[in-house]
Amino acid sequence: MSYKESDQIKNLVEDASKVVIIQADNPDGDSLASSLALEQILHELGKEPHLYCGVDIPDYLKHLRGWDRVSKDMPSQFDASIIVDTSAIILLEKLDQSQYRSWVASKPVIVLDHHSDVACDIPYATIVINDHDAVATGEVVYKLANDLSWTLNLQAKTHVASSILSDSLGLTSDGTTAQTYRIMADLIESGVDRPALEEARRAMTKMVEPVFRYKARLIERTELFAEGKIAFASVPHEELIEYSPMYNPAPLIQTDMLQVQDVLVAIVFKVYKDGKITGSIRCNSGGNIAAELATHFGGGGHPYAAGFKVTDGRAADQLKSECINLATELLGKVNNIQ
């Protein structure tokens, strides 16, 4: 058994007929693909799965077959839910502010996640697997299915592979383990067309011309701090409205930021008109401060990839200074240890 929680999850699922699979307000390749894998697994078990996300699925994830079954609505009656790829209540704001919260909270809630640095703070979670060794929630789903002898049809296997390729950045990220490769090998051996997935994953990161030109503006605007170790850019509301539906501005620029000599940390703010500010943090090897930095601002994530959201109406400039000062301080600690 990979997980001590497996048997309890088995019982909860066995007792349920309709199951809602919930993604947080920041759906990504892992959350969507692992949801779709669970959907297939539940189908095979004779259950009635329903896919929920409080926000629209962004265009760049629409190569994942079945994305259009994800709905902002929940069925009026269901027996249990499974929250994927988050343990943080702050990322479930849409659900929390909706009528659905009480529906979900009154039924068993299974949380499947892999974000090591945060303890689950979802008050209505019944049972939580937060697997620190898994590179993606898809890996957790695979191990759980193995524990419980749940059937993975080819579509489910394909979705598990997609989720792993997405969160491991094509099996290259620091969190990618021997186990990840073993699982991918098993999936490929049993029929998953990896080159086709890779093609789709790459197609996903392609940009339309206006986005390409916008990227130049973001590069132009990028500031370096702490002797060039921290790269920072901010995206105002108007640009979010214009470009977000086409491409997420943070990943559009962060990979390039991390390719600049000496840069260890890439921070992108999104500043919304209603006062909300989100921060996306990505780090290079040797600058693994993302989780600690995000946690300070009420968020969380991995040592190399994390995020936060501030809604207390703080000015963006003030938040920026605080974030850069703390990042500089945390980098100082990392460098002293090395």
The residues that touch Mn ion, with contacts defined as CB under 5 A, are 30, 85, 137, 167
Shortest distance (Å) from residue 113 CB to Mn ion: 8
Shortest distance (Å) from residue 137 CB to Mn ion: 5
- How many Cβ atoms are within 10 Å of 299's Cβ, its own excluded? 23
Q: Which is nearer to Mn ion, 164 or 289 (CB)?
A: 164
Torsions phi, psi for 298 (to 5 deg) = 85, 10
Q: Which is nearer to Mn ion, 112 or 310 (CB)?
A: 112
Shortest distance (Å) from residue 167 CB to Mn ion: 4
Shortest distance (Å) from residue 302 CB to Mn ion: 9
Whether 259 contacts 223, CB under 8 Å: no
Strand extents, DSSP E, 134-250: 223-225, 230-236
Shortest distance (Å) from residue 314 CB to Mn ion: 28
Q: In what helix (H) or strand (E) does residue 137 lie, and over which residues does it extend?
A: helix 137-148
Shortest distance (Å) from residue 307 CB to Mn ion: 12
Joined tokens for residue 153: 């049809």
Q: Which is nearer to Mn ion, 30 or 131 (CB)?
A: 30
Whether 76 contacts 102, CB under 8 Å: no
Q: Which is nearer to Mn ion, 114 or 320 (CB)?
A: 114
**Secondary structure of 119-134 in HEC code, one letter for each residue:** CCCCCCCCEEEECCCC
Q: Which is nearer to Mn ion, 40 or 87 (CB)?
A: 87
Question: Do strands 300-301 and 305-310 pair parallel, antiparallel, or not at all (unpaired)?
Answer: antiparallel
Q: Which is nearer to Mn ion, 11 or 255 (CB)?
A: 255
Contacts 24+ apart (CB under 8 A), 245-248: 245/58, 245/59, 246/59, 246/207, 246/208, 246/210, 246/211, 247/60, 247/207, 247/208, 247/211, 248/58, 248/60
Q: Which residue is nearest to Mn ion (CB)?
A: 30
Q: Between the CA atoms of 255, 117, 135 and 96, what dihedral angle is there, to the nearest 10 degrees?
A: -90
Shortest distance (Å) from residue 156 CB to Mn ion: 17
Q: Which is nearer to Mn ion, 52 or 78 (CB)?
A: 52
